Amino acid sequence: MSVHKEFKRITTHALQAMKARGERISMLTAYDYSMAKILDAGGVDVLLVGDSASNVMAGHETTLPITLDQMIYHASSVVRAVERALVVVDLPFGNYQGSSRKALASTVRIMKESGAHAVKMEGGKEIQESIERVLSAGVPVMGHLGLTPQSIYKFGTYTVRAKGEVEAERLIKDAKLLQKIGCFAIVLEKIPAELGKQVSEMLDIPTIGIGGGQHTDGQVLVTHDMLGITKDFHPRFLRRYANLFDTIKEAVEQYSTDVKNRDFPSKKEQY
Ligand code: KIV
Protein backbone atom coordinates (compact mmCIF):
# COMPACT_ATOMS: atom_id res chain seq x y z
CA MET A 1 0.00 0.00 0.00
CA SER A 2 1.44 3.41 -0.86
CA VAL A 3 1.36 6.34 1.51
CA HIS A 4 1.84 9.99 0.77
CA LYS A 5 5.48 10.81 1.52
CA GLU A 6 6.04 14.26 0.06
CA PHE A 7 7.71 15.50 3.22
CA LYS A 8 11.10 13.99 4.14
CA ARG A 9 10.59 15.08 7.72
CA ILE A 10 7.22 16.12 9.14
CA THR A 11 7.23 19.49 10.88
CA THR A 12 4.42 21.49 12.44
CA HIS A 13 4.48 23.61 9.26
CA ALA A 14 4.05 20.50 7.12
CA LEU A 15 0.91 19.64 9.11
CA GLN A 16 -0.41 23.15 8.51
CA ALA A 17 0.25 22.75 4.77
CA MET A 18 -1.53 19.39 4.78
CA LYS A 19 -4.63 20.96 6.29
CA ALA A 20 -4.51 23.84 3.81
CA ARG A 21 -4.58 21.47 0.85
CA GLY A 22 -7.08 19.05 2.40
CA GLU A 23 -4.67 16.16 2.98
CA ARG A 24 -5.59 14.13 6.06
CA ILE A 25 -3.02 13.70 8.85
CA SER A 26 -2.32 10.26 10.35
CA MET A 27 -1.18 9.97 13.96
CA LEU A 28 -0.57 6.93 16.18
CA THR A 29 0.82 6.46 19.65
CA ALA A 30 4.31 5.05 20.17
CA TYR A 31 6.21 4.23 23.33
CA ASP A 32 9.22 2.14 22.33
CA TYR A 33 12.00 1.95 19.74
CA SER A 34 11.03 -1.19 17.83
CA MET A 35 7.36 -0.30 17.35
CA ALA A 36 8.21 3.33 16.50
CA LYS A 37 10.53 2.07 13.74
CA ILE A 38 7.67 0.06 12.20
CA LEU A 39 5.16 2.92 12.49
CA ASP A 40 7.59 5.41 10.97
CA ALA A 41 8.35 3.00 8.11
CA GLY A 42 4.57 2.71 7.60
CA GLY A 43 4.44 6.41 6.84
CA VAL A 44 2.44 7.71 9.80
CA ASP A 45 2.81 11.50 10.00
CA VAL A 46 2.82 12.05 13.75
CA LEU A 47 3.90 9.74 16.57
CA LEU A 48 2.39 10.64 19.92
CA VAL A 49 4.27 9.44 22.96
CA GLY A 50 0.96 9.40 24.80
CA ASP A 51 0.49 9.10 28.52
CA SER A 52 -1.72 6.16 27.47
CA ALA A 53 1.61 4.37 28.04
CA SER A 54 0.37 4.33 31.62
CA ASN A 55 -2.46 2.01 30.46
CA VAL A 56 -1.04 -0.08 27.65
CA MET A 57 2.61 -0.32 28.70
CA ALA A 58 2.36 -0.25 32.49
CA GLY A 59 -1.13 -1.70 33.07
CA HIS A 60 -2.54 1.18 35.14
CA GLU A 61 -6.25 1.87 35.04
CA THR A 62 -5.78 5.58 34.25
CA THR A 63 -3.15 7.86 32.73
CA LEU A 64 -2.54 9.64 36.03
CA PRO A 65 0.29 7.55 37.57
CA ILE A 66 2.87 7.90 34.77
CA THR A 67 5.83 10.09 35.74
CA LEU A 68 7.90 12.64 33.84
CA ASP A 69 10.96 10.36 34.00
CA GLN A 70 8.93 7.47 32.52
CA MET A 71 7.59 9.71 29.72
CA ILE A 72 11.15 10.83 28.92
CA TYR A 73 12.29 7.19 28.78
CA HIS A 74 9.48 6.32 26.33
CA ALA A 75 10.02 9.49 24.27
CA SER A 76 13.78 9.06 23.88
CA SER A 77 13.24 5.45 22.73
CA VAL A 78 10.78 6.65 20.09
CA VAL A 79 12.94 9.55 18.91
CA ARG A 80 15.90 7.20 18.32
CA ALA A 81 13.74 5.19 15.91
CA VAL A 82 12.16 7.94 13.86
CA GLU A 83 13.33 9.30 10.52
CA ARG A 84 10.21 11.04 9.23
CA ALA A 85 7.39 11.45 11.74
CA LEU A 86 6.89 14.43 14.04
CA VAL A 87 7.26 13.22 17.65
CA VAL A 88 4.88 14.80 20.16
CA VAL A 89 5.06 13.97 23.88
CA ASP A 90 2.27 14.22 26.46
CA LEU A 91 3.10 16.30 29.50
CA PRO A 92 2.08 13.93 32.29
CA PHE A 93 -0.55 14.73 34.91
CA GLY A 94 0.66 17.14 37.58
CA ASN A 95 3.34 18.73 35.42
CA TYR A 96 1.40 21.70 34.05
CA GLN A 97 -1.95 22.02 35.85
CA GLY A 98 -1.59 24.95 38.21
CA SER A 99 2.02 25.89 37.53
CA SER A 100 3.31 27.34 34.29
CA ARG A 101 6.84 27.28 35.73
CA LYS A 102 6.57 23.55 36.27
CA ALA A 103 5.11 23.18 32.75
CA LEU A 104 8.15 24.88 31.26
CA ALA A 105 10.65 23.02 33.46
CA SER A 106 9.06 19.66 32.54
CA THR A 107 8.95 20.58 28.86
CA VAL A 108 12.61 21.61 28.87
CA ARG A 109 13.51 18.21 30.36
CA ILE A 110 11.45 16.40 27.71
CA MET A 111 12.98 18.37 24.85
CA LYS A 112 16.58 18.14 26.11
CA GLU A 113 16.56 14.56 27.33
CA SER A 114 14.43 12.91 24.63
CA GLY A 115 14.99 15.04 21.53
CA ALA A 116 11.22 15.17 20.83
CA HIS A 117 9.73 17.89 18.64
CA ALA A 118 6.65 19.12 20.54
CA VAL A 119 4.51 18.57 23.63
CA LYS A 120 0.79 18.06 24.19
CA MET A 121 -1.33 19.30 27.10
CA GLU A 122 -4.97 18.56 27.97
CA GLY A 123 -7.36 21.46 28.56
CA GLY A 124 -8.33 24.97 27.49
CA LYS A 125 -8.56 28.27 29.31
CA GLU A 126 -7.59 26.74 32.67
CA ILE A 127 -4.10 25.88 31.38
CA GLN A 128 -3.62 28.93 29.13
CA GLU A 129 -0.71 30.28 31.21
CA SER A 130 1.18 26.97 31.03
CA ILE A 131 0.71 26.72 27.26
CA GLU A 132 1.81 30.32 26.74
CA ARG A 133 4.95 29.90 28.84
CA VAL A 134 5.97 26.75 26.95
CA LEU A 135 5.27 28.43 23.61
CA SER A 136 7.32 31.45 24.66
CA ALA A 137 10.31 29.12 25.06
CA GLY A 138 9.93 28.14 21.40
CA VAL A 139 8.40 24.70 21.94
CA PRO A 140 5.39 23.80 19.75
CA VAL A 141 2.28 22.81 21.71
CA MET A 142 -0.55 20.51 20.63
CA GLY A 143 -3.83 21.06 22.51
CA HIS A 144 -6.30 18.38 23.58
CA LEU A 145 -10.03 19.03 24.16
CA GLY A 146 -13.19 16.96 24.65
CA LEU A 147 -12.56 13.83 26.69
CA THR A 148 -9.32 14.62 28.51
CA PRO A 149 -8.32 11.41 30.34
CA GLN A 150 -6.17 13.19 32.94
CA SER A 151 -9.44 14.67 34.29
CA ILE A 152 -11.25 11.33 34.43
CA TYR A 153 -12.04 11.64 38.13
CA LYS A 154 -13.77 14.98 37.45
CA PHE A 155 -15.83 13.56 34.55
CA GLY A 156 -16.53 10.26 36.30
CA THR A 157 -16.86 8.30 33.02
CA TYR A 158 -15.25 7.89 29.59
CA THR A 159 -18.51 8.73 27.75
CA VAL A 160 -18.84 11.16 24.82
CA ARG A 161 -18.15 14.79 25.84
CA ALA A 162 -19.74 18.08 24.76
CA LYS A 163 -23.11 16.62 23.77
CA GLY A 164 -24.93 19.50 25.46
CA GLU A 165 -24.95 23.09 24.24
CA VAL A 166 -23.09 24.56 27.19
CA GLU A 167 -20.17 22.15 27.02
CA ALA A 168 -20.05 22.39 23.22
CA GLU A 169 -19.90 26.21 23.42
CA ARG A 170 -17.10 25.97 25.98
CA LEU A 171 -15.17 23.58 23.73
CA ILE A 172 -15.55 25.93 20.75
CA LYS A 173 -14.30 28.85 22.86
CA ASP A 174 -11.34 26.82 24.10
CA ALA A 175 -10.46 25.69 20.56
CA LYS A 176 -10.45 29.32 19.36
CA LEU A 177 -8.31 30.29 22.34
CA LEU A 178 -5.77 27.50 21.75
CA GLN A 179 -5.41 28.60 18.12
CA LYS A 180 -5.10 32.27 19.11
CA ILE A 181 -2.34 31.69 21.65
CA GLY A 182 -0.35 29.60 19.17
CA CYS A 183 -1.03 25.86 19.45
CA PHE A 184 -0.11 24.14 16.18
CA ALA A 185 -2.88 21.48 16.33
CA ILE A 186 -5.63 20.23 18.64
CA VAL A 187 -6.68 16.67 19.50
CA LEU A 188 -10.48 16.35 19.75
CA GLU A 189 -11.36 13.27 21.76
CA LYS A 190 -14.76 11.58 21.88
CA ILE A 191 -17.09 14.40 20.85
CA PRO A 192 -20.09 14.41 18.47
CA ALA A 193 -19.06 14.29 14.79
CA GLU A 194 -21.01 17.48 14.04
CA LEU A 195 -19.01 19.37 16.65
CA GLY A 196 -15.77 17.89 15.29
CA LYS A 197 -16.78 19.20 11.86
CA GLN A 198 -17.71 22.64 13.14
CA VAL A 199 -14.44 23.09 15.06
CA SER A 200 -12.32 21.76 12.18
CA GLU A 201 -13.94 24.13 9.68
CA MET A 202 -13.66 27.06 12.07
CA LEU A 203 -9.92 26.69 12.73
CA ASP A 204 -6.89 27.26 10.51
CA ILE A 205 -4.76 24.85 12.56
CA PRO A 206 -5.34 21.10 12.11
CA THR A 207 -7.64 19.08 14.36
CA ILE A 208 -6.79 15.43 15.04
CA GLY A 209 -9.76 13.33 16.10
CA ILE A 210 -10.08 10.22 18.22
CA GLY A 211 -13.79 9.54 18.25
CA GLY A 212 -14.28 13.02 16.78
CA GLY A 213 -15.92 11.93 13.52
CA GLN A 214 -15.01 11.95 9.83
CA HIS A 215 -14.40 15.64 9.40
CA THR A 216 -11.40 16.32 11.63
CA ASP A 217 -8.19 17.09 9.71
CA GLY A 218 -6.50 13.97 11.00
CA GLN A 219 -7.09 10.85 13.06
CA VAL A 220 -5.25 9.29 15.98
CA LEU A 221 -5.60 5.89 17.58
CA VAL A 222 -3.73 4.11 20.34
CA THR A 223 -1.48 1.71 18.41
CA HIS A 224 -2.05 -1.21 20.77
CA ASP A 225 -5.81 -0.86 20.20
CA MET A 226 -5.70 -0.59 16.40
CA LEU A 227 -3.30 -3.53 16.13
CA GLY A 228 -5.48 -5.68 18.39
CA ILE A 229 -2.81 -6.12 21.06
CA THR A 230 -5.36 -4.97 23.62
CA LYS A 231 -8.45 -7.15 23.61
CA ASP A 232 -11.01 -5.83 26.04
CA PHE A 233 -11.51 -2.26 24.74
CA HIS A 234 -14.32 -1.79 22.21
CA PRO A 235 -15.29 1.87 21.78
CA ARG A 236 -17.34 2.66 18.65
CA PHE A 237 -14.55 4.83 17.21
CA LEU A 238 -11.96 2.04 17.21
CA ARG A 239 -11.16 0.16 14.01
CA ARG A 240 -8.89 -2.85 14.48
CA TYR A 241 -6.43 -3.35 11.63
CA ALA A 242 -4.89 -6.55 12.99
CA ASN A 243 -5.36 -9.10 15.72
CA LEU A 244 -1.84 -9.22 17.10
CA PHE A 245 -2.90 -10.59 20.48
CA ASP A 246 -3.88 -13.88 18.83
CA THR A 247 -1.05 -13.81 16.28
CA ILE A 248 1.56 -13.39 19.01
CA LYS A 249 -0.16 -15.86 21.34
CA GLU A 250 -0.17 -18.53 18.60
CA ALA A 251 3.53 -17.92 17.88
CA VAL A 252 4.34 -18.21 21.59
CA GLU A 253 2.30 -21.42 21.91
CA GLN A 254 4.15 -22.88 18.94
CA TYR A 255 7.54 -21.89 20.40
CA SER A 256 6.65 -23.38 23.75
CA THR A 257 5.50 -26.63 22.13
CA ASP A 258 8.70 -26.81 20.04
CA VAL A 259 10.89 -26.34 23.11
CA LYS A 260 9.03 -28.95 25.12
CA ASN A 261 9.11 -31.42 22.21
CA ARG A 262 12.87 -30.82 21.78
CA ASP A 263 12.09 -29.63 18.26
CA PHE A 264 13.78 -26.25 18.89
CA PRO A 265 16.65 -25.67 18.42
CA SER A 266 17.36 -28.00 15.53
CA LYS A 267 20.86 -29.04 14.45
CA LYS A 268 20.88 -26.13 12.01
CA GLU A 269 20.08 -23.69 14.78
CA GLN A 270 23.11 -24.40 16.92
CA TYR A 271 26.89 -23.85 16.78
O1 KIV B 1 -2.29 9.45 25.52
C2 KIV B 1 -2.84 9.24 24.42
O3 KIV B 1 -2.71 8.17 23.82
C4 KIV B 1 -3.64 10.31 23.85
C5 KIV B 1 -4.42 9.99 22.61
C6 KIV B 1 -5.58 9.15 22.96
C7 KIV B 1 -4.81 11.19 21.87
O8 KIV B 1 -3.68 11.37 24.37
Residue-wise pLDDT tens for the chain (271 aa)?
545 567 799 999 999 999 999 999 999 999 999 999 999 999 999 999 999 999 999 999 999 999 999 999 999 999 999 999 999 999 999 999 999 999 999 999 999 999 999 999 999 999 999 999 999 999 999 999 999 999 999 999 999 999 999 999 999 999 999 999 999 999 999 999 999 999 999 999 999 999 999 999 999 999 999 999 999 999 999 999 999 999 999 999 999 999 999 999 999 999 9
175 with 207, same domain: the answer is yes
Cβ pair 41, 71 in contact under 8 A: no
Answer yes or no: is 7 within a domain.
no
Residue positions counted in the chain: 271
139 with 190, same domain: the answer is yes
62 with 189, same domain: the answer is yes
232 with 269, same domain: the answer is no
Give the per-residue pLDDT at 5: 60
251 with 214, same domain: the answer is no
Give 49's DSSP letter.
E
CA–centroid distance, 207 to ligand 1, in Å, is 14
Question: pTM here?
Answer: 0.96
Pairing of strands 218-221, 25-29: parallel
94 with 50, same domain: the answer is yes
Domain range for 263: 243-271
Nearest atom (ligand 1) to Cα of 29: 3
31 with 60, same domain: the answer is yes
251 with 129, same domain: the answer is no
The number of angstroms, rounded, from the C-alpha of 177 to the middle of its chain's C-alpha atoms is 21
Nearest atom (ligand 1) to Cα of 50: 1
Answer yes or no: is 178 within a domain.
yes
- Residue closest by Cα to atom 5 of ligand 1: 50
Cβ pair 119, 151 in contact under 8 A: no
176 with 58, same domain: the answer is yes
Domain count, the chain: 2
From 189, 201, 253, 269, active-site residue: 189
Cβ pair 139, 183 in contact under 8 A: no
Q: What is the distance between the alpha carbons of residues 71 and 66, in angstroms, rounded to a whole number?
A: 7
267 with 141, same domain: the answer is no
Cβ pair 24, 219 in contact under 8 A: yes
Q: Is 269 a catalytic residue?
A: no
Answer yes or no: is 1 within a domain.
no
CA–centroid distance, 46 to ligand 1, in Å, is 12
CA–centroid distance, 92 to ligand 1, in Å, is 11
Answer yes or no: is 4 within a domain.
no
Q: What is the distance between the alpha carbons of residues 72 and 90, in angstroms, rounded to a whole number?
A: 10
